[in-house]
Structure 1
Amino acid sequence: MNEKAMRKNRWQSVIFLLIIIVLTYWSSFITQFNFWDGLVTIPEATGWMLSNLSITQDSLERLPKIMETLVETIFMSIAATTLAAAVSLFLGLFGSNTTKVNSFLSVFARFVASVSRNIPVVAWSLILLISFGQNSVTGFLALFVGTVGFLTRAFMESMDEVGQSSVEALTATGATYFQIVSKAVIPQCLPQMLSWILFMIETNIRSATLVGILTGTGIGYTFDMYYKTLNYNAVGLVTLCIVIAVILVDLISNYIRKVIL
């Protein structure tokens, strides 16, 4: 019986692999993508980047301005994430099967999470750009809306995994809804929730660069300005600063995760 099941799983894996290969070739044919041509251009592209994106003395003189916009982007990402986390906490409580108040609020919370999560941050930036114009508010709101959807979903799943024994024990003693949430639910899922918040801060710092290009704010605007003026040396410095900032934030987040988990 086990041998037959293993043979069946093996055939399913082979069929699945063949489907992926066929879809890959079909997609390449439709998009007229030639893998070999792309592979051949890698050395030439690498040479161009090394010669044009090198950091010069002139580009280093722009470092204070670049760092100013980079810090602005980091703080905007942190602010959008923390505010979104506060909103997502309430939506998560309403949407979780463990803590939901009623079916209407549960459906509403899940609907908000689904809509805001399934629309990309870039699309939110373009939608909000029409209403709020090209400013920092638009970038902040784009990150905020996208984060609300992701964190609400993550918080709901974390709350659904909470052990029911403590919830039932407090319910049996006549505890109120807020007492159950604060004493049984939040303490158990708080480490996972903090981990998700840290993850979204990292993600939003990366996304803020692209959002800034569209909304004319932060490090994204600086990158776009140097790129459009063909100042590739400054573009290389901006890229390097973004990479270093993301790595530092990632290291700090990993350290905090080890402490709280």
Structure 2
Amino acid sequence: MQDNFFARKRLKTLLYCALLLAITVIAIVITNYDVIKGFTSIPKAAEWAFNNFYPNEKALKRLPVIISNLTETVLVSIAATALAALFALIFAIAGSHTTGAGGVFSFVSRSIATVFRNIDVSAWSMILLISFGQNVLTGYFALFFGSFGFLTRAFTESIDEVSSSSVEALRSTGAGYLSIISQSVIPACVPQLISWILFMIETNIRQATLIGILTGTGIGFLFSLYYKSLNFSAASLIVIVLVLAIFLIETVSTYIRKVIL
């Protein structure tokens, strides 16, 4: 019996691997991708980057402008995440099985979150670009909508994990709905909520760089400007500063998670 179970499991694994290999081969054939040329070009690309993609003295003079644009990108990411977290918490409470009102209202809350979560931030940028044009507001709303969908789902699951016994205990004492939310549910899941918010801030800073290329703002636009003008030294400095900033933010975020969890 056990041997048959493992045999079927191995067979399924082999079938999945064969299917994945077949899809890869079909994709290579359709796109006319030269696998050998792709791998042999890696050393040449690394050599070009080593010879051209590094900051020089002239690029360092642009550091204040780079820092200013990076600061704008970080602040927009934090602002969009903070407001999205506030709205996400409201929708999560309404849609949660533990605290939700149930019925149509709960269904609508979860449905809205699902729709927003399944539309990528880059897609939101292109949609909003038509209405708002290339400005900071476009990037802000794109990050806000993307964060709202993700955080609503994450907050809902965190709230659902709260023990229903404490909620029932408060209800038995005659506590009102808002009292149950503020005295039992929220305090119990605050560490998880903060952890998700920090994760979203990290993610948004990375995404904001790419969004900036579309919206013409922030550090992303500056990188695109330098790269298209063949100023590879300044573009490489942006990459270095951005990587250092992300590492710093991630280190602070990890420390905060260790403290609260």
TM-score, length of structure 1 as denominator length:
0.97
Cα distance in 1, alignment partners of residues 13 and 167 from structure 2: 42
Cα distance in 2, alignment partners of residues 106 and 201 from structure 1: 27
Instruction: Give the C-alpha shift of residue 60 in structure 1.
Output: 0.3
Q: Deviations over 1:99-127 (max 9, x none)?
A: 11132221221122112111111111111
Corresponding residue of 2:105? 105
Corresponding residue of 1:137? 137
Instruction: Give the C-alpha shift of residue 178 in structure 1.
Output: 0.9
**1:6 and 2:20 aligned:** no
Cα distance in 1, alignment partners of residues 78 and 224 from structure 2: 22
Instruction: Give, as a single letter, the amino acid of the residue that structure 2 aligns with 1:18.
Output: A
Corresponding residue of 1:149? 149
Corresponding residue of 1:224? 224
Q: Deviations over 1:12-46 (max 9, x none)?
A: 22222222222221222222223222110001111
Cα distance in 1, alignment partners of residues 163 and 32 from structure 2: 52
Corresponding residue of 1:79? 79
Corresponding residue of 2:158? 158
Moved more, 164-173 or 9-18: 9-18
Cα distance in 1, alignment partners of residues 28 and 175 from structure 2: 60
Instruction: Give the C-alpha shift of residue 3 in structure 1.
Output: 2.5
Cα distance in 1, alignment partners of residues 34 and 174 from structure 2: 67
Corresponding residue of 2:52? 52
Corresponding residue of 2:234? 234
Instruction: Give the C-alpha shift of residue 160 in structure 1.
Output: 1.2
Instruction: Give the C-alpha shift of residue 186 in structure 1.
Output: 1.2
What is the percentage of aligned positions where both structures have the same residue?
Answer: 50
Instruction: Give the C-alpha shift of residue 68 in structure 1.
Output: 0.5
Cα distance in 1, alignment partners of residues 221 and 15 from structure 2: 47
Instruction: Give, as a single letter, the amino acid of the residue that structure 1 aligns with 2:159.
Output: M
Corresponding residue of 1:179? 179
Corresponding residue of 1:66? 66
Cα distance in 1, alignment partners of residues 217 and 112 from structure 2: 27
Instruction: Give the C-alpha shift of residue 147 in structure 1.
Output: 0.3
TM-score, length of structure 2 as denominator length:
0.97
Unpaired segments ≥5 residues, structure 2? none
Instruction: Give the C-alpha shift of residue 141 in structure 1.
Output: 0.7
Q: Secondary structure at the match of 1:33?
A: coil
Cα distance in 2, alignment partners of residues 251 and 40 from structure 1: 36
Instruction: Give the C-alpha shift of residue 175 in structure 1.
Output: 1.2
Cα distance in 1, alignment partners of residues 120 and 91 from structure 2: 20
**1:118 and 2:118 aligned:** yes
**1:258 and 2:258 aligned:** yes
CA RMSD of aligned residues (A): 1.2
Stretches (4+) displaced over 4 A: none
Cα distance in 2, alignment partners of residues 167 and 38 from structure 1: 59
State the number of aligned residues: 261
Q: Secondary structure at the match of 1:51?
A: helix
Instruction: Give the C-alpha shift of residue 248 in structure 1.
Output: 0.8
Instruction: Give the C-alpha shift of residue 83 in structure 1.
Output: 0.7
Cα distance in 2, alignment partners of residues 88 and 3 from structure 1: 48
Instruction: Give the C-alpha shift of residue 57 in structure 1.
Output: 0.2
Instruction: Give, as a single letter, the amino acid of the residue that structure 1 aligns with 2:234.
Output: A
Q: Deviations over 1:188-227 (max 9, x none)?
A: 2211111111111000000001111111111011111111
Moved more, 192-201 or 1-10: 1-10
Cα distance in 2, alignment partners of residues 31 and 96 from structure 1: 45
